[in-house]
């Protein structure tokens, strides 16, 4: 096994540093059927078909309950480890998945953002780029939230096969070629941002593979993850976290939550996968006594239309975020947006909490960083992190 210090891992941190795991619910998760206003008579008027039955809802209080597949999250809520952040979004929602996701990723609602908010977080956490696995994204795609110039991100689809030119044998030849590769990828001055990015990515890949390869080797657990893509991703994250490589930001996604049609079945399946995956993940961390410094954050690019369309729901505006972990002050934050017809904007819930306020809480209170440059301004934050 390669020495961690040689690879620059874990140089400037300790195993107890706060870690954030972002789970993106891609496609526009339906707020009203996730955190259900089951006691609101309007709910059933708006949702004659696409509703959660009153006898199925997992009640949290006399107004609000969770989707029936979210048992594991309800349990954690009751233990005080889940914050429900109501009515999150931003003004003038474009109701476009892609534009909206960009806005959530970059914190730039008016112009084109090129830097992701978590990319800026990584830059603050590791300003000298001492650890190329400070951020790990479960690929194949690299999420824009993590992209920032000169910030390394290890994008890992399958941690077991993460390596460069692994087919080359014998080892002597492999080392010779990788040595040259490293020299060829060393940034050539003035060759432009695209070449610089490629160069940096190549070097990060080389270094990151050496570091990450130890994670599955070291990992043992009695937790058997349920069988879904999100569970596999969360297991990969657990492996890296438990290897103590100094990773602080993890990213994964699940979907598609774009339930224009057949919503009841799809939403059921997706939320049972997400809930079970989260339970397995935290069980795994608990087993290794490594859960205390991990907060998971769930968001979606928008909520869905208040009225159902007979089979599903169309694109909406205000949504819900969840924050989960022992570092969370459990409870509900903000107000469920008014469902009165006169209070809707083009049939959608009006968000009352800016998504950047939520980010501000995570960045300042959990990660201990100055939130203003990261989220692009000053936002009043909900107080959902234990201090």
Partner 1 sequence: MTDSNLSLMAHLMRRAGFGASRDELERRVEVGYEATVDELLNPQTQDPVDIYEFLRYYPLWWKPGTMGGLGHASWVWRMINTKAPLQEKLCLFYHQLFATGVAKVDHYDEIEDMIDSFRDQGLGHYKDLLMMVAQSPAMIYWLDNHENHADSVNENWGRELLELFTMGVGNYTETDVRECSRAFTGWTLKHKLPRFHMGRWDWEYEFRPEDHDYSEKTFLGHTGNFDGEEIIDIVLSKPPTAAFIARHLYSFFVADEPQVPAWSVTPPNDPKAVQFIADALMESDYHIGTVLGKIFNSDFFKDARFERVKNPTEVVIGTLRLVEDTERPAPETMNWASQIGFMGQELLNPPSVEGWHSGIEWINSGTLMKRTNFTAEMISDLSKPGVVKIINRIKASGSSPEDVVDACLDVMGPLDIPAESRDELLDHAKNLGEIDWDDDRPGQGGAAKATEILQLVVSLREYQFA
24: β partners? 253, 299
In the set 175, 218, 335, 346, which binds partner 1 (CB under 8 A)?
346
Is residue 111 a contact point for partner 1 (CB under 8 A)?
A: yes
Backbone angles phi, psi at 31, to 5 degrees: -55, -50
DSSP 8-state class, residue 361: I
Minimum distance of partner 1 from residue 111's CB (angstroms): 6
User: Counting contacts by CB under 8 A, is residue 315 touching partner 1?
Assistant: yes
Q: Which stretch binds partner 1 (CB under 8 A): 190-198, 239-247, 291-299, 322-330?
A: 190-198
The closest of 3, 8, 17 to 290, measured between CA atoms, is: 17
User: Could you tell me how many residues of this chain bind partner 1 (CB under 8 A)?
Assistant: 63
**Residue 290 engages partner 1 in binding (rule: CB under 8 A):** no
Torsions phi, psi for 130 (to 5 deg): -80, -20
Contact with partner 1 (CB under 8 A) among 3, 14, 16, 112: 112
Q: What CA–CA distance (Å, rounded) separates 33 from 35? A: 6
Q: Is residue 239 left, alpha or beta, with left meaning phi > 0 and alpha meaning psi from -120 to 50?
A: alpha
Residue 166 lies near partner 1 (rule: CB under 8 A): yes
Give residues with Cβ within 8 angstroms of 3, minimum separation 6: none
What minimum distance in Å lies between the beta carbon of 184 and partner 1?
5
CB of 291 to partner 1, least distance (A): 27
Stretch 17-76 residues interacting with partner 1 (CB under 8 A): 26-27
Measured between alpha carbons, how far is 176 from 153 in angstroms, rounded to an integer? 25
- The H-or-E segment that residue 355 falls in is helix 355-360
Structure tokens at 344: 């809707």
Part in contact with partner 1 (CB under 8 A); list of ranges 15-23, 187-195, 326-334, 356-364: 187-195
> Least CB distance from residue 148 to partner 1, whole Å?
13
In angstroms, give the least distance from the CB of 104 to partner 1: 12
User: Are the C-beta atoms of 323 and 336 separated by less than 8 Å?
Assistant: no
Taking CB under 8 A as the rule, does residue 320 contact partner 1?
A: no
Report the interhelical angle of 171-185 vs 193-212 (nearest 10°).
150
Regarding 96 and contact with partner 1 (CB under 8 A), the answer is yes
Residue 288 is a binding residue for partner 1 (CB under 8 A): no
Q: Does 240 bind partner 1 (CB under 8 A)?
A: no
- Rule CB under 8 A: say whether 184 interacts with partner 1: yes
260 binds partner 1 (CB under 8 A): yes
Q: Cα separation of 95 and 97, whole Å?
A: 6
From the number of C-beta atoms within 10 Å of its C-beta (0-12, 13-18, 19+), residue 333 rates as buried
What is the residue whose two structure tokens read 């397995």?
Answer: 280
Strand positions, DSSP E, the chain: 19-26, 35-36, 58-59, 65-66, 82-89, 135-138, 154-156, 249-255, 294-300, 319-324, 331-333, 353-354
Subset of residues 116 to 155 that bind partner 1, contact rule: CB under 8 A:
137, 139-142, 152-155
55-63, 104-112, 220-228, 278-286 -> range binding partner 1 (CB under 8 A): 104-112
Interface with partner 1 (CB under 8 A), residue from 167, 171, 227, 370: 167
Among 3, 61, 171, 183, binds partner 1 (CB under 8 A): 183
**Interacting residues toward partner 1 by CB under 8 A:** 26-27, 94-99, 101-102, 110-112, 137, 139-142, 152-157, 162-168, 173, 176-177, 180-181, 183-185, 188, 191, 194-195, 197-199, 201-202, 204-205, 208-209, 256, 258, 260-261, 309-312, 314-315, 346
């Amino acid at each position: 096994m390669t020495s961690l210090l040689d690879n620059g891992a874990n140089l400037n941190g300790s195993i107890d540093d706060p870690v954030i795991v972002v789970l993106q619910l891609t496609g526009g998760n339906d707020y009203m059927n996730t955190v259900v206003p089951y006691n609101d008579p309007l709910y059933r008027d708006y949702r004659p078909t696409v509703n959660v039955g009153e006898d199925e809802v997992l009640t949290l209080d006399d107004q609000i309950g969770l989707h029936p597949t979210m048992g594991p999250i309800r349990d954690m809520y009751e233990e005080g480890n889940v914050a429900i952040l109501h009515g999150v979004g931003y003004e003038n929602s474009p109701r476009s998945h892609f534009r909206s996701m960009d806005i959530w990723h970059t914190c730039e609602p008016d112009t084109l953002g090129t830097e992701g908010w978590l990319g800026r977080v990584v830059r603050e956490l590791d300003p000298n780029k001492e650890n190329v696995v400070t951020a790990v994204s479960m690929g194949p795609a690299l999420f824009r939230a993590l992209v920032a110039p000169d910030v390394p991100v290890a994008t890992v689809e399958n941690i077991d096969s993460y390596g460069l030119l692994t087919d080359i044998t014998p080892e002597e030849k492999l080392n010779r070629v990788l040595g040259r590769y490293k020299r060829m990828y060393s940034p050539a001055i003035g060759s432009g941002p695209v070449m610089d990015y490629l160069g940096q990515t190549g070097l990060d890949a080389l270094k990151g593979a050496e570091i990450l390869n130890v994670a599955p080797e070291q990992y043992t657990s009695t937790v058997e993850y349920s069988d879904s893509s999100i569970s596999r991703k969360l297991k990969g994250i657990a492996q890296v976290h438990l290897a103590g490589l100094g990773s602080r930001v993890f990213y994964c996604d699940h979907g598609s939550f774009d339930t224009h049609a057949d919503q009841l079945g799809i939403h059921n399946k997706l939320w049972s996968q997400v809930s079970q995956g989260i339970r397995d993940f935290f069980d795994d961390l608990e087993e290794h006594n490594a859960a205390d410094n991990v907060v998971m954050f769930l968001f979606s690019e928008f909520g869905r239309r208040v009225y159902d369309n007979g089979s599903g729901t169309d694109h909406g505006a205000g949504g819900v975020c969840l924050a989960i972990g022992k570092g969370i002050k459990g409870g509900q934050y903000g107000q469920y947006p008014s469902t009165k017809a006169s209070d809707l904007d083009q049939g959608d819930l009006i968000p009352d909490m800016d998504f950047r306020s939520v980010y501000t809480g995570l960045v300042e209170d959990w990660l201990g960083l100055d939130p203003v440059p990261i989220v692009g301004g000053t936002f009043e934050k909900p107080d959902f992190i234990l201090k």
